Amino acid sequence: MSTPNIVLTRIDNRLVHGQVGVVWTSSIGANLLLVANNDAAKSELQQELMAATAETSGVGIRFWTLEKTISTISKASPRQKIFLIIKTPLDALVLVKGGVPIKELNVGNMHHSENKVQLTKKVYADQTDQDAFKELTALGVDVYIQDVPEDKKIPIKDVI
């Protein structure tokens, strides 16, 4: 087993869309999008829509559950430059505690919903999210908010 070449891990509640699939993918040089999400791993419709975006960028895409990501990512080829895309801070925490070597976590988009407070223009978090961010930081993960590559990184500790 080797350490997978994860070039970026991003939280985006939309998972793969134009900004993620095109702008971020090209800026970080990824050649594989790995969507680690239990719902997307089961939804052919979601997969079709996200695969179309990946195809536009000329990169591969996989849809795995969190458990499959934990058990399988260490088998990735060193040639694979993995862009790991997840939906929530809790998902990130599950992956990190499961042994996925996430060194940094880019928080891109977390929509507003009930009981969530605004941290930045596009990031809203409830107490569970904030607790997960704090635990990830305590585990040594560099957690920051950054919508697009040219934006300045905002350390999560500066907003929670």
**How far is 66 from 11, CA to CA, in rounded Å?**
14
**How far is 33 from 51, CA to CA, in rounded Å?**
9
111 included as an active-site residue? no
The DSSP code for 74 is: G
Residue 55 identity (one-letter amino acid): E
Give the pair of three-digit tokens for residue 120. Answer: 């930045």
* 42 bridge partner residues: none
The catalytic residue among 17, 68, 116, 122 is: 17
Please identify every residue annotated as catalytic. Answer: 17
